[in-house]
Structure 1
Amino acid sequence: MIHPSLIKKQRLFIFCFLALILITAILSMGMGYSSLSYNRLLPTILGEGTFKEEFVLFSIRLPRILITLLSGMALAVSGAILQGITRNDLADPGIIGVNSGAGVAIAVFFLYFPIDAGSFIYLLPVVAFIGALITACFIYLFSYSKHVGLQPVRLILVGVGFSMALSGAMVVLISSSEREKVDFIAKWLAGSIWGTDWPFILAVLPWLIILIPFTLYKANRLNLLNLSEPVAIGVGVSVERERGVLLLTAVALAAAAVSVTGGIAFIGLMAPHIAKALVGPRTQLFLPIALLIGGWLLLLADTIGRNIVDPEGIAAGIMTALIGAPYFIYLLLKNH
């Protein structure tokens, strides 16, 4: 049973992060290359804006804000699952190579397959999922020992190795491609939130609507897997089956997110850690906070990045790396 004071604390943090998301979203709506006056935001939302104001808000700003929020949430939940099933605090879909696998699959699909504009958007998450899943299966196989089971530290090392190898494969693909297509892949690699239109939201949303509630439903299983294998087996958990199902869920969430945002790392590392520091390690308590933190962090990184340098700005993936890399080093030193 969860103590009522913890539930009260969780609700307070949920309210705080929802308020932070709302404030950041409002700031993001008004800021950018085509600025939108804040006193014109409400009239524009209510349909009383000029053509330019409505175009900037509804066709450029709002889809981008929603994409960053949804993708940040997906990456945070993916990171929380990976940390739970591997019992390793350094696990993150960007660090262990899952994102790189999705990236290579998207690059191959974009470069060598005939693309139909109508279906391309909806196929991207599926293609990313296939690439990420193949990569995750290889990482899992190389990290698994018949006698010891899954080795958390080995998983991180193997994942980093795969991430580097796949980055090399991406360079080979780029070097043999046409200029226009290379520009797209370069933007994807930098995490430039390229899928900023309403159809991209419709392509990603079903994955999140199904998989995030499913993860919350599996919260107890994640708690048990986080303890140790003998304890989990002792209470009747089918460890390998649960790990497999949750790994699939984590890969699908990460793939759906990076298919529209590009290569974003460290969100899945930072968000669960911050949430655990606030309310403790129980999945039911920290996961709702972690997904809000993930959404807010990516929205904040994109808002800052867009407005630092005009007109292109700095890619959100670079901004999250600037924040996340020092945090990763801090965790590495803390854990050893």
Structure 2
Amino acid sequence: MIQSEILKKQRILLFTFTLLTLGTAIAAIALGPASIDPIRIIPALFGNGTFKEEFVLFSVRLPRIAITFLAGAALALSGSILQGITRNDLADPGIIGINAGAGASIAVFFLFVPVDAGAFVYLMPIVGFIGAFITAVLIYLFAYDKKTGLQPIRLVLTGVGFSLALSGVMIVLTSSADRDKVDFIAKWLAGNIWGSDWPFVIALLPWLVLLVPFALYKANRLNVLGLSESVAIGIGVSVERERIILLLTAVALAASAVSVTGGIAFIGLMAPHIAKSLIGPRSQLYLPIAIILGGWLLLLSDTIGRNISSVGIIPAGLVVSLIGAPYFVYLLLRK
């Protein structure tokens, strides 16, 4: 049973990060070349703004804010699951190659499969999931040992190798492609938020509506999988079955997110760690915090990237990497 003091602390943290997210969303609307005065946001939101204010709010800012928050939340939850099932604090869908697998399949689909632009939006998460799933299976097989089971460090090293190899495949594929298609793939690799219209929100939202409650429902199983394998088996848990189910959930969350945001790494690494440091390692407590924190981190990174330079937009993926790479090295040295 979870103590009432811990639950109270969790509610306070959830409320705090929700306020931070709302404050960052207001800043995202108010800053930039097409901006709205903060005091005009509420009137425009309820249909009492000028044509320019309502166009900027509903057609430019709100869909981008929704995409960045939802994608960040999905990546954070995916990273939390991967860290739990592998018992590896360095696991992240961007670091261990799952994002690269989704990206390679999306690149092949984009370059070689003729498809209607309207259908392309909704097919992207499915195509990304197929590529990420195949990559995850291969990484799992290479990292698994029959005698000792899944080796955490071996998993990270194998994933990094797959990520580099798949990034090389994407470069080879784009070397002879059309200029416009090359630009798209390059922006995807950099983590540019390219899917910033309402159809992309609609394409991404069903994945989260289904998978986030399912992952929270499986929180107790995630706690058990975080123990040693012999202990988990001893209390009657089908380790491999639960691990595969949760791995599929993590892959689907990561693939759906990166299909509209590009190659974003480190969100799935940082958000779970920060959440655990604030509330503890119990999944029922830290997962909701990690979800909101991941959404806020990506929204903040995108807002900074859009406004920090007068020359152009810095991709959110690069901003996240500037923060996440030192954090990854710190964790690597500590562990």
TM range (shorter): over 0.9
Equivalent in the alignment of 2:85: 85
Verify the 8 A CA contact 1:33 1:311 in the aligned structure 2.
no
SS at match of 1:249: helix
Q: Residue 143 of structure 1 aligns with which residue?
A: 143
Match runs of 1:18-97 below 5 Å: 18-97=18-97
Please give the alpha-carbon distance, in whole angstroms, between the structure 2 residues aligned to 1:42 and 1:238. 51
Structure 1: give runs of 5+ residues left out of the alignment.
none
Aligned equivalents of 2:228, 2:207: Cα separation in 1: 30
- Equivalence for 2:4: 4
1:176 Cα shift? Answer: 1.4
Structure 1 residue 129, shift from structure 2 partner: 0.3
| 2:263 aligned counterpart, secondary structure | coil
What is the CA-CA distance between 1:165 and the residue it aligns to?
Answer: 0.4
Matched, 1:173 2:173: yes
Opposite residue 15 of structure 2, the aligned amino acid is: F
* Other-structure match for 1:222: 222
* 1:274 maps to 2:274: yes
Q: CA deviation at 1:312?
A: 3.0
How much has 1:311 moved relative to structure 2?
5.9
Q: Match of 1:155?
A: 155
What displacement does 1:34 show?
1.3
Return the offset for 1:124.
Answer: 0.2
TM-score (norm 2): 0.99
What letter is aligned with 1:76?
Answer: A
Aligned residue number for residue 248 of structure 1:
248
Q: CA RMSD in A?
A: 0.7
Give how far 1:37 is off: 1.4
Check whether the contact 1:33–1:310 (CA below 8 A) recurs between aligned residues. no
Instruction: Specify whether residues 122 and 311 from structure 1 end up closer, same or farther in structure 2 by C-alpha distance, changes over 3 A only.
Output: farther
The whole-number CA distance in structure 1 between the counterparts of 2:275 and 2:302 is 21
Paired letter, 1:119:
A
| 1:124-170 superposed Cα distances (whole Å, 9 cap, x missing partner) | 00000000000000000000111111111100000000000001101
Identity level (%): 69
Alignment match, 1:186? 186
Q: How many residues align?
A: 335
- Rounded Cα–Cα distance in structure 1 between residues aligned with 2:28 and 2:123: 29
> How far apart in 2 are the matches of 1:231 and 1:280?
21
Structure 2: runs of 5 or more not aligned: none
Question: Secondary structure in 2 aligned to 1:57?
Answer: helix
How far apart, CA to CA, are the structure 2 residues paired with 1:145 and 1:178? 43
Partner secondary structure for residue 92 of structure 2: coil
Alpha-carbon distance in structure 2 between the residues aligned to 1:35 and 1:47: 17
Q: CA deviation at 1:282?
A: 0.2
The whole-number CA distance in structure 2 between the counterparts of 1:194 and 1:287 is 27
Residue type of the alignment partner of 1:179 = R
Secondary structure of the residue aligned to 2:265 is coil
Q: Which residue in 2 is equivalent to 1:99?
A: 99
Distance across 1 between alignment mates of 2:118 and 2:194 = 17
CA drift of 1:35 comes to 2.1
- Could you list the structure 1 runs, at least 4 aligned residues long, displaced by more than 4 angstroms after superposition: none
